[in-house]
Chains A and B, each alone.
Chain A
Amino acid sequence: MSAVESQGVALGGLEQAELPVARTARRRRPTARSLTLRIVGTVFVLALLVFMVGPIVWLAVRAFSGLWQYPQFLPSDWTLQWWRTVFDDKTLGHSMRLSFEFAPIVTVASAAICLPAAYAFSRFNFPGRRVLLVSLFATNAFPKIGLYISMAGVFYSLNLMGTFLGVVIVQLIGTIVFMTWIPTAAFSAIPRSLEEAARDVGAGPLRVFFRVTFPLAAPGIFVAMILSFLAAFDEAQGTFLVGIPNYITMPTEMYTLVLNYPEQAAAVFSILLAIPSVVLMSLARKHVMGGKLAEGFQIR
């Protein structure tokens, strides 16, 4: 160790003894390059910010604006009137309540259906396993509206159109990929020996699942549930097709709003619609950033 260290010292000494000209030249080149890189990077990030945050800022300003005429950069009048309009409107309040009813129900139903499937996909090797796993993506591969229209055909014959159950089913379809793939990856990441060790000390299969497997897969399942909640919450096309006229949720209400109300009311509503996403995503941020989401979409 000491020999290596002294060698390092000797080398360092040599370097210092070198001509100062050579050293500055060597140092300047990377600096110039990194400066260009930094400028390009900054411009890129700024552009990204304008594209991503810009619409939200515009929406926020819009929601509080009274009179806002074209050449002006900011509205000349500020008002809370549109918020009052939205909160006073009975149908809008009703649609909010509906949205917050559907999303949790769909999430729980989806978990009840998909989590056992995810466990099976991860732990058992049955014929057609990969085909089934990949085919779950099929619902996302086609234009949704085509799928919903053919579903509507089936729903008519089953008398599910315009029913609560019909809306739940149509929203559930959009959550299946999240609820299966991410938990499958979460279960697969748990070494089997952890389950075997629990069997070994005397736990039956069910107890092993609830004491070892489930707690370890919980972060992945949590992410899946949040994404499913948001998918159900934001689902508009299918809900619109199946739910009208009885069940108008927030996103479907947007269609009416855009057509029938001034722009500002729609802005208020959009902000309200975005709140759950922002809150839930920031709650799940740690796990989503931790790679659980990415992990979920690796085909194994």
Chain B
Amino acid sequence: MNEATPAGLLIDRVSKDLGGRTIVSNMQLEVHAGELTCLLGPSGCGKTTTLRMIGGFLQPDAGAILIDGGDVSRLPPEKRPTAMVFQNYALWPHMTVFKNVSFGLRLRKLPKKEIRERVENVLELVGLTHHIHSYPARISGGEQQRVALARALVLEPKVLLLDEPLSNLDAKLRVRVREDIREIQQRIGITTVFVTHDQDEALSISDRIAVMSDGKVEQYADPRTLYREPATHFVASFVGAMNFYAGSLHGDTFELAGGARVPVDSLDAHGRGAYEIGVRPEDVSVSTNGGGGAEAVVVREIQRGHYKELVLKVGEDEMRAFVAPELAADGGLRVRFTRAVLYRDGLLQQSEQPVAVS
């Protein structure tokens, strides 16, 4: 732990078994004050269980959860300085928006005037003042989502918890609401934990992302590092698209197991011998006018709008490449890797700096 920046939230060696299965095992995670951290992973990886332990709906079997240095592990949800936005929003259908948002304040027996002011302020923040007297059933899904957010924020919690808050919205709205959430989070500077299985969502709004698999944190890093230097094979394949090949490195040429030899322009690691190589589709450089590189044949072309995806056959191996949409891919092609990462036993091989797994 860093003394200079006290952790907003610390998950300290937490484990949890449910129904005879280990859901979270010895998890260690530090969420800095004021940052938005995403817990990203496939379903069943333990991300929601972790969130529910932070919120107090589950008790950790081992380890502790600390908020601003204080242990909250044994407190019930109503005593914790956390506020949660549930996946299905969990708005109370028999209360108006005002009553939903003010419920927590009314429990705290605040003066009527103050309650009114705080509710109006927070509804203004999420842009829903005009629906203050509507019932949840009368407003749209996106609006319900924002009411749930307002209900959490009005209590000024130390930690805001969001459990896949966008999964019930349609694709367009999801992008807009996630930007709204990020904007509001940054404006009030609240420590936030956001659970999602959507890597696109995680990459676009997080300060840091914890990629989880089988109850463990595989990598905890900022979005750029996570994308450029995925610490494990799992992270590399879960976050973004990645071409993987077994083979061996000879200087600046990688020999695929299928036999093709592809030149590599930039590698973080140097060495010789057997590796697994990971190449992002945008790092596969395709040239139409000869030059160096392995020979490739186009199997399929997929139009993606602002770019084009090519499925290539290089020797025996299939390869995906993102290229400019105007590239005429009919003649003989040559491919090279502009950037690649190397793995051995599923772990990233790096020479410059140690792998940043916390």
Question: Which residue of the partner chain, among B83, B88, B93, contacts A200 with CB atoms under 8 Å?
Answer: B83
B76 within 8 A of A: yes
Q: Is there contact, CB below 8 Å, between B78 and A215?
A: no
Chain A residues with Cβ under 8 A from B83's Cβ? 200-201
How far, in Å, is B171 (CB) from chain A's closest CB? 19
CB-based contact B86/A197 at 8 Å = yes
Complex CA gap A86/B108 in Å reads 59
Whether B108 lies near A191 (C-beta < 8 A) is: no
Q: Would you call B76 and A191 a contact (CB within 8 A)?
A: no
Residues of A within 8 A of B76 (CB): 199, 204
Which chain B residue lies CB-closest to A211? B103
| 8 Å CB contact of B77 from A199, A207, A212 | A199
Q: Which residue of B77, B88, B107, B152 contacts A191 across the interface (Cβ within 8 Å)?
A: B88
Interface size on A, residues (CB 8 A): 17
Q: Tell me whether A199 and B78 are in contact (CB under 8 A).
A: yes
Query: With an 8 A cutoff between CB atoms, is B42 at the interface?
Result: no
Rounded to whole angstroms, the CA-CA distance of A194 and B56 in the bound complex is: 15
**A76 beta carbon closer than 8 Å to chain B:** no
Interface residues of B (CB under 8 A from A): 55-57, 76-78, 82-84, 86-88, 90-94, 103-104, 107-108, 151-152, 155
On whether A194 and B78 interact (CB within 8 A), knowing A202-B107, A202-B108, A207-B107, the answer reads no
| CB <8 Å contact, B92 and A200 | no
Question: Do residues A216 and B103 form an inter-chain contact, with CB atoms below 8 A?
Answer: no
A198 to B76, CA, bound (A): 12
Contact of A202 among B57, B90, B155 (CB under 8 A): B155
Residues of chain B with a CB closer than 8 A to A211's CB: 103
Do the beta carbons of A200 and B107 come within 8 Å of each other?
A: no
The answer, among B56, B87, B90, B107, for a CB contact under 8 Å with A203, is B107
Do residues A200 and B77 form an inter-chain contact, with CB atoms below 8 A?
Answer: yes
Q: How many CB-defined contacts (below 8 Å) exist between A and B?
A: 59
A196 at the interface (CB under 8 A from B): yes
Which residues from B are CB-within-8-Å of A203? 78, 103-104, 107
User: Which listed residue (A196, A204, A207) contacts B90, Cβ 8 A?
Assistant: A196
B107 cross-chain contacts in A, Cβ below 8 A: 201-203, 207
CB contact between B78 and one of A191, A204, A212 (< 8 Å): that residue: A204
A193-B94 CB under 8 A given contacts A201-B104, A202-B107, A203-B78: no
Within the complex, what minimum Cβ distance (angstroms) separates B151 from chain A?
7
Chain A nearest CB: distance from B141 CB in Å?
15
In chain A, what residue has the closest Cβ to B79? Answer: A202
Q: List 14 A-B contacts (CB under 8 A).
A: A193-B90, A194-B90, A198-B92, A199-B56, A200-B55, A200-B78, A200-B152, A201-B83, A202-B78, A203-B103, A204-B76, A204-B78, A211-B103, A216-B94
Residues of B within 8 A of A191 (CB): 88, 90
**Which residues from chain B contact A197 at a C-beta distance below 8 Å?**
84, 86, 90-92, 151
Residues of chain A at the chain B interface (Cβ within 8 Å)? 191, 193-194, 196-204, 207, 211-212, 215-216
A217 nearest CB across to chain B (Å): 11
In the bound complex, residues from chain B placing their C-beta under 8 Å from that of A200 are 55-56, 77-78, 82-84, 152
CB closest residue in chain B, given A193: B90
- Chain A hits for B55, CB < 8 A: 200
Q: Chain B residues near A196: list those with CB within 8 A.
A: 57, 77, 84, 86, 90
Complex: A200 Cα to B83 Cα, angstroms: 6
Q: Are B92 and A201 in contact (CB under 8 A)?
A: no
Residues of chain A contacted by B151 (CB below 8 angstroms): 197, 201
| A188 CB → nearest B CB, Å | 16
17 extra interface residue pairs, beta carbon distance < 8 Å, beyond A191-B88, A197-B91: A191-B90, A193-B86, A193-B87, A194-B92, A196-B77, A197-B90, A199-B77, A200-B78, A201-B155, A202-B104, A202-B107, A203-B104, A203-B107, A204-B76, A204-B78, A211-B103, A216-B94
A191 and B90 alpha carbons, distance in the complex (Å): 8
| Contact across chains for A215 and B108 when beta carbons are under 8 A apart | no
Q: Residue among A202, A207, A212, A216 with the most chain B CB within 10 A?
A: A202
Q: Which residues of A contact B86 (CB under 8 A)?
A: 193, 196-197
Q: How far is the CA of A172 from the CA of B80 in the complex (A)?
A: 44
**Considering the chains assembled together, what is the distance between the CA atoms of A204 and B75 in angstroms?**
12
Contact partner, A215, options B56, B57, B94, Cβ 8 Å: B94
Q: Are B93 and A216 in contact (CB under 8 A)?
A: yes
Q: How far is the CB of B15 from chain A (nearest CB, A)?
A: 22
Chain B residues within an 8 Å CB radius of A212: 92
A198, A200, A204, A216 — which one has the most chain B CB atoms within 10 A of its CB? A200
Shortest Cβ distance from B161 into A: residue: A200
**When chains A and B are docked, how far (Å) is the Cα of A115 from the Cα of B155?**
33
Flag if A201 contacts B93 (CB, 8 Å).
Answer: no
CB neighbours of B108 from chain A (8 A): 202
B90: chain A residues at CB < 8 Å are 191, 193-194, 196-197
